[in-house]
Structure 1
Protein backbone atom coordinates (compact mmCIF):
# COMPACT_ATOMS: atom_id res chain seq x y z
CA UNK A 1 0.00 0.00 0.00
CA UNK A 2 1.37 3.43 -0.81
CA UNK A 3 2.09 5.90 1.93
CA UNK A 4 -0.31 8.80 2.29
CA UNK A 5 0.64 12.08 3.90
CA UNK A 6 -1.99 12.65 6.62
CA UNK A 7 -1.05 16.32 6.83
CA UNK A 8 -1.80 16.94 3.16
CA UNK A 9 -4.90 18.82 2.02
CA UNK A 10 -6.48 15.76 0.38
CA UNK A 11 -6.75 13.90 3.71
CA UNK A 12 -9.66 15.80 5.23
CA UNK A 13 -13.04 14.34 4.26
CA UNK A 14 -13.59 10.71 3.34
CA UNK A 15 -10.10 10.03 2.02
CA UNK A 16 -8.22 6.83 2.79
CA UNK A 17 -5.87 7.24 5.75
CA UNK A 18 -2.59 5.50 6.50
CA UNK A 19 -2.92 2.03 7.95
CA UNK A 20 -1.55 2.26 11.50
CA UNK A 21 -3.76 -0.52 12.83
CA UNK A 22 -3.32 -2.93 9.94
CA UNK A 23 -5.14 -3.70 6.73
CA UNK A 24 -8.90 -3.51 6.48
CA UNK A 25 -9.73 -5.67 3.44
CA UNK A 26 -12.71 -4.23 1.58
CA UNK A 27 -14.21 -7.51 0.35
CA UNK A 28 -14.23 -9.15 3.76
CA UNK A 29 -15.60 -5.99 5.38
CA UNK A 30 -18.42 -5.71 2.81
CA UNK A 31 -19.38 -9.38 3.24
CA UNK A 32 -19.45 -9.08 7.02
CA UNK A 33 -21.37 -5.81 6.89
CA UNK A 34 -23.95 -7.22 4.47
CA UNK A 35 -24.53 -10.06 6.94
CA UNK A 36 -25.03 -7.52 9.74
CA UNK A 37 -21.77 -8.49 11.44
CA UNK A 38 -18.92 -6.39 12.76
CA UNK A 39 -16.49 -5.68 9.91
CA UNK A 40 -13.56 -5.98 12.36
CA UNK A 41 -14.17 -9.32 14.09
CA UNK A 42 -17.01 -10.81 12.02
CA UNK A 43 -18.66 -12.12 15.18
CA UNK A 44 -20.49 -9.24 16.86
CA UNK A 45 -23.80 -7.95 15.57
CA UNK A 46 -23.78 -4.54 13.89
CA UNK A 47 -27.49 -3.84 14.49
CA UNK A 48 -29.28 -3.74 17.82
CA UNK A 49 -32.64 -3.82 16.01
CA UNK A 50 -33.85 -3.72 12.40
CA UNK A 51 -31.85 -0.62 11.33
CA UNK A 52 -30.51 0.68 14.66
CA UNK A 53 -26.72 0.43 14.71
CA UNK A 54 -24.92 -0.54 17.93
CA UNK A 55 -22.69 2.18 19.34
CA UNK A 56 -19.84 -0.36 19.31
CA UNK A 57 -19.37 -4.06 18.59
CA UNK A 58 -20.54 -6.10 21.59
CA UNK A 59 -17.65 -8.56 21.03
CA UNK A 60 -14.52 -6.59 20.02
CA UNK A 61 -15.66 -3.07 21.03
CA UNK A 62 -14.98 -1.59 17.56
CA UNK A 63 -16.88 1.71 17.46
CA UNK A 64 -19.74 2.03 14.94
CA UNK A 65 -21.14 5.38 16.02
CA UNK A 66 -18.94 7.14 13.43
CA UNK A 67 -21.02 5.85 10.53
CA UNK A 68 -22.76 8.21 8.13
CA UNK A 69 -25.21 5.82 6.52
CA UNK A 70 -28.46 7.72 6.77
CA UNK A 71 -29.82 8.49 3.29
CA UNK A 72 -27.69 6.36 0.97
CA UNK A 73 -29.09 2.89 1.83
CA UNK A 74 -32.72 3.74 0.90
CA UNK A 75 -31.55 5.24 -2.41
CA UNK A 76 -29.49 2.14 -3.13
CA UNK A 77 -32.47 -0.07 -2.28
CA UNK A 78 -34.72 1.89 -4.64
CA UNK A 79 -32.10 1.53 -7.38
CA UNK A 80 -31.60 -2.23 -6.89
CA UNK A 81 -35.27 -3.14 -6.37
CA UNK A 82 -36.32 -0.99 -9.32
CA UNK A 83 -33.85 -2.78 -11.56
CA UNK A 84 -35.24 -6.14 -10.46
CA UNK A 85 -38.98 -5.45 -10.34
CA UNK A 86 -39.49 -3.21 -13.38
CA UNK A 87 -37.95 -5.55 -15.99
CA UNK A 88 -39.79 -8.48 -14.41
CA UNK A 89 -43.07 -6.55 -14.50
CA UNK A 90 -42.55 -5.61 -18.17
CA UNK A 91 -41.66 -9.21 -19.04
CA UNK A 92 -44.77 -10.59 -17.33
CA UNK A 93 -46.93 -7.95 -19.03
CA UNK A 94 -45.54 -8.68 -22.49
CA UNK A 95 -45.62 -12.46 -22.21
CA UNK A 96 -48.81 -13.15 -20.22
CA UNK A 97 -50.88 -9.93 -20.45
CA UNK A 98 -52.47 -10.45 -17.01
CA UNK A 99 -55.16 -8.31 -15.44
CA UNK A 100 -54.08 -5.28 -13.40
CA UNK A 101 -55.00 -6.97 -10.11
CA UNK A 102 -52.49 -9.74 -10.85
CA UNK A 103 -49.74 -7.14 -11.11
CA UNK A 104 -50.91 -5.56 -7.86
CA UNK A 105 -51.02 -8.77 -5.82
CA UNK A 106 -47.71 -9.97 -7.27
CA UNK A 107 -45.42 -6.98 -7.67
CA UNK A 108 -46.44 -4.79 -4.73
CA UNK A 109 -45.63 -7.50 -2.15
CA UNK A 110 -42.48 -8.44 -4.09
CA UNK A 111 -41.32 -4.82 -4.05
CA UNK A 112 -42.09 -4.46 -0.35
CA UNK A 113 -40.36 -7.70 0.67
CA UNK A 114 -37.27 -7.01 -1.45
CA UNK A 115 -37.02 -3.50 -0.03
CA UNK A 116 -37.33 -4.63 3.59
CA UNK A 117 -34.82 -7.46 3.10
CA UNK A 118 -32.24 -5.37 1.24
CA UNK A 119 -32.32 -2.27 3.45
CA UNK A 120 -30.32 -3.68 6.41
CA UNK A 121 -28.04 -5.58 4.00
CA UNK A 122 -27.09 -2.43 2.08
CA UNK A 123 -26.85 -0.31 5.24
CA UNK A 124 -24.50 -2.85 6.82
CA UNK A 125 -22.38 -2.99 3.67
CA UNK A 126 -22.19 0.81 3.51
CA UNK A 127 -21.09 1.07 7.15
CA UNK A 128 -18.49 -1.63 6.51
CA UNK A 129 -17.28 0.29 3.46
CA UNK A 130 -16.85 3.41 5.58
CA UNK A 131 -15.02 1.38 8.23
CA UNK A 132 -12.74 -0.30 5.68
CA UNK A 133 -11.81 2.98 4.00
CA UNK A 134 -11.44 4.72 7.41
CA UNK A 135 -14.02 7.35 6.55
CA UNK A 136 -15.99 9.67 8.87
CA UNK A 137 -14.06 9.08 12.08
CA UNK A 138 -13.33 5.36 11.65
CA UNK A 139 -9.64 6.34 11.53
CA UNK A 140 -8.18 6.79 15.03
CA UNK A 141 -6.09 9.75 13.76
CA UNK A 142 -8.96 11.51 11.97
CA UNK A 143 -9.89 15.08 12.85
CA UNK A 144 -13.53 13.97 12.38
CA UNK A 145 -13.28 11.36 15.14
CA UNK A 146 -15.82 11.96 17.90
CA UNK A 147 -15.94 10.39 21.36
CA UNK A 148 -18.37 7.56 21.97
CA UNK A 149 -21.77 9.08 22.86
CA UNK A 150 -22.11 6.97 26.02
CA UNK A 151 -18.75 8.33 27.22
CA UNK A 152 -19.93 11.95 27.04
CA UNK A 153 -20.98 13.59 30.30
CA UNK A 154 -24.71 14.05 30.76
CA UNK A 155 -26.44 17.02 32.35
CA UNK A 156 -28.22 15.90 35.50
CA UNK A 157 -30.31 18.35 37.46
Structure 2
Protein backbone atom coordinates (compact mmCIF):
# COMPACT_ATOMS: atom_id res chain seq x y z
CA UNK A 1 0.00 0.00 0.00
CA UNK A 2 1.27 3.49 -0.82
CA UNK A 3 0.68 6.39 1.53
CA UNK A 4 1.13 10.12 1.18
CA UNK A 5 3.55 10.31 4.10
CA UNK A 6 4.02 13.72 5.69
CA UNK A 7 7.72 14.60 6.02
CA UNK A 8 8.76 17.78 7.77
CA UNK A 9 11.64 19.28 9.66
CA UNK A 10 11.24 18.53 13.35
CA UNK A 11 11.35 21.33 15.91
CA UNK A 12 12.28 21.13 19.58
CA UNK A 13 8.57 20.72 20.36
CA UNK A 14 8.66 17.42 18.39
CA UNK A 15 11.47 15.97 20.52
CA UNK A 16 9.26 13.60 22.53
CA UNK A 17 7.56 12.25 19.40
CA UNK A 18 10.87 11.69 17.60
CA UNK A 19 12.38 10.08 20.71
CA UNK A 20 9.42 7.71 20.92
CA UNK A 21 9.71 6.59 17.30
CA UNK A 22 13.51 6.38 17.69
CA UNK A 23 13.28 3.99 20.62
CA UNK A 24 10.46 1.96 19.04
CA UNK A 25 12.23 1.62 15.70
CA UNK A 26 15.54 0.66 17.35
CA UNK A 27 13.72 -1.98 19.40
CA UNK A 28 11.88 -3.30 16.31
CA UNK A 29 15.10 -3.43 14.31
CA UNK A 30 17.33 -5.11 16.89
CA UNK A 31 15.03 -7.25 19.08
CA UNK A 32 16.28 -10.81 18.73
CA UNK A 33 19.66 -9.58 17.47
CA UNK A 34 21.00 -7.58 20.44
CA UNK A 35 20.37 -8.22 24.15
CA UNK A 36 17.25 -6.45 25.40
CA UNK A 37 19.11 -4.75 28.25
CA UNK A 38 21.60 -3.30 25.75
CA UNK A 39 18.76 -1.98 23.57
CA UNK A 40 17.07 -0.32 26.56
CA UNK A 41 20.34 1.24 27.78
CA UNK A 42 21.23 2.46 24.30
CA UNK A 43 17.84 4.08 23.76
CA UNK A 44 17.88 5.72 27.21
CA UNK A 45 21.30 7.23 26.47
CA UNK A 46 20.92 8.09 22.77
CA UNK A 47 17.23 8.56 22.04
CA UNK A 48 16.02 10.85 24.79
CA UNK A 49 13.78 13.84 24.12
CA UNK A 50 16.64 16.05 25.33
CA UNK A 51 18.97 14.60 22.68
CA UNK A 52 16.45 15.29 19.91
CA UNK A 53 15.64 18.77 21.24
CA UNK A 54 19.35 19.58 21.12
CA UNK A 55 19.65 18.35 17.56
CA UNK A 56 16.48 20.19 16.51
CA UNK A 57 17.91 23.43 17.92
CA UNK A 58 21.28 23.05 16.16
CA UNK A 59 21.43 24.96 12.85
CA UNK A 60 24.03 22.48 11.52
CA UNK A 61 21.69 19.52 12.15
CA UNK A 62 18.49 18.52 10.38
CA UNK A 63 15.96 16.28 12.11
CA UNK A 64 13.14 15.11 9.86
CA UNK A 65 10.01 13.46 11.20
CA UNK A 66 7.76 11.27 9.04
CA UNK A 67 4.11 11.16 9.99
CA UNK A 68 1.31 8.82 8.97
CA UNK A 69 -1.23 10.62 6.75
CA UNK A 70 -4.09 9.31 8.89
CA UNK A 71 -3.77 10.93 12.31
CA UNK A 72 -0.19 12.17 11.83
CA UNK A 73 1.37 9.61 14.19
CA UNK A 74 5.18 9.60 13.97
CA UNK A 75 6.38 6.57 11.98
CA UNK A 76 9.93 7.45 10.96
CA UNK A 77 12.71 9.99 11.19
CA UNK A 78 16.20 10.92 10.10
CA UNK A 79 19.05 12.96 11.58
CA UNK A 80 21.79 14.71 9.59
CA UNK A 81 24.60 16.14 11.71
CA UNK A 82 28.34 16.68 12.01
CA UNK A 83 30.31 13.46 11.44
CA UNK A 84 31.47 11.42 14.42
CA UNK A 85 33.09 8.49 12.63
CA UNK A 86 36.59 6.93 12.83
CA UNK A 87 37.52 7.63 9.21
CA UNK A 88 39.17 10.57 7.48
CA UNK A 89 36.39 13.13 7.49
CA UNK A 90 36.73 15.60 4.65
CA UNK A 91 35.58 19.20 4.47
CA UNK A 92 31.99 19.09 3.27
CA UNK A 93 31.17 15.76 4.95
CA UNK A 94 27.95 15.30 6.92
CA UNK A 95 26.72 12.20 8.72
CA UNK A 96 23.29 10.65 8.31
CA UNK A 97 23.37 9.64 11.96
CA UNK A 98 19.92 8.07 11.96
CA UNK A 99 17.28 6.98 9.46
CA UNK A 100 14.56 4.62 10.65
CA UNK A 101 10.94 3.77 9.94
CA UNK A 102 8.52 1.68 11.94
CA UNK A 103 7.41 -1.62 10.44
CA UNK A 104 4.00 -0.13 9.54
CA UNK A 105 5.86 1.85 6.86
CA UNK A 106 8.09 -0.88 5.44
CA UNK A 107 7.66 -1.50 1.75
CA UNK A 108 5.75 1.75 1.19
CA UNK A 109 8.59 3.90 -0.15
CA UNK A 110 8.90 5.97 3.03
CA UNK A 111 12.55 4.97 3.52
CA UNK A 112 13.42 6.16 0.03
CA UNK A 113 11.54 9.43 0.58
CA UNK A 114 13.35 10.03 3.88
CA UNK A 115 16.67 9.31 2.17
CA UNK A 116 15.92 11.59 -0.79
CA UNK A 117 15.01 14.43 1.57
CA UNK A 118 18.11 13.82 3.71
CA UNK A 119 20.33 13.98 0.62
CA UNK A 120 18.60 17.19 -0.54
CA UNK A 121 18.97 18.71 2.95
CA UNK A 122 22.65 17.71 3.04
CA UNK A 123 23.24 19.44 -0.30
CA UNK A 124 21.35 22.53 0.92
CA UNK A 125 23.68 22.66 3.93
CA UNK A 126 26.64 22.66 1.52
CA UNK A 127 27.70 19.07 2.10
CA UNK A 128 29.68 17.27 -0.59
CA UNK A 129 29.48 13.77 0.88
CA UNK A 130 27.09 11.90 3.20
CA UNK A 131 28.48 9.29 5.61
CA UNK A 132 26.64 6.74 7.74
CA UNK A 133 27.38 3.76 9.95
CA UNK A 134 25.37 0.55 10.14
CA UNK A 135 25.65 -2.80 11.92
CA UNK A 136 27.69 -4.98 9.59
CA UNK A 137 25.25 -7.89 9.87
CA UNK A 138 22.15 -5.75 9.16
CA UNK A 139 21.62 -7.03 5.63
CA UNK A 140 18.28 -5.25 5.14
CA UNK A 141 19.74 -1.82 5.93
CA UNK A 142 22.94 -2.46 3.99
CA UNK A 143 20.96 -3.49 0.91
CA UNK A 144 18.87 -0.32 1.21
CA UNK A 145 21.93 1.93 1.50
CA UNK A 146 23.66 0.27 -1.44
CA UNK A 147 20.48 0.66 -3.52
CA UNK A 148 20.55 4.35 -2.58
CA UNK A 149 24.08 4.72 -4.00
CA UNK A 150 26.24 4.39 -0.88
CA UNK A 151 29.59 2.57 -1.04
CA UNK A 152 31.79 1.13 1.70
CA UNK A 153 34.21 3.63 3.21
CA UNK A 154 35.44 1.99 6.42
CA UNK A 155 34.57 0.13 9.61
CA UNK A 156 34.17 0.89 13.30
CA UNK A 157 33.38 -0.74 16.63
CA UNK A 158 30.07 0.62 17.95
CA UNK A 159 28.84 0.50 21.55
CA UNK A 160 25.24 -0.47 22.30
CA UNK A 161 24.59 -0.80 26.04
CA UNK A 162 27.28 -3.12 27.42
CA UNK A 163 28.12 -4.66 24.03
CA UNK A 164 30.46 -3.72 21.19
CA UNK A 165 29.52 -4.47 17.59
CA UNK A 166 31.18 -4.29 14.20
CA UNK A 167 29.75 -1.61 11.95
CA UNK A 168 30.50 -0.67 8.39
CA UNK A 169 30.69 2.93 7.27
CA UNK A 170 29.20 3.99 3.97
CA UNK A 171 29.69 7.14 1.93
CA UNK A 172 27.87 8.76 -0.95
CA UNK A 173 29.04 11.77 -2.92
CA UNK A 174 26.45 14.44 -3.60
TM bin (shorter chain): under 0.3
The normalised TM-score by structure 1 is 0.25
Query: What TM-score, normalized by structure 2, do the two folds share?
Result: 0.23
* More contact order relative to length (CA 8 Å, sep ≥ 6): 1
Greater Cα radius of gyration, structure 1 or 2: 1
Greater fraction of residues in strand: 2
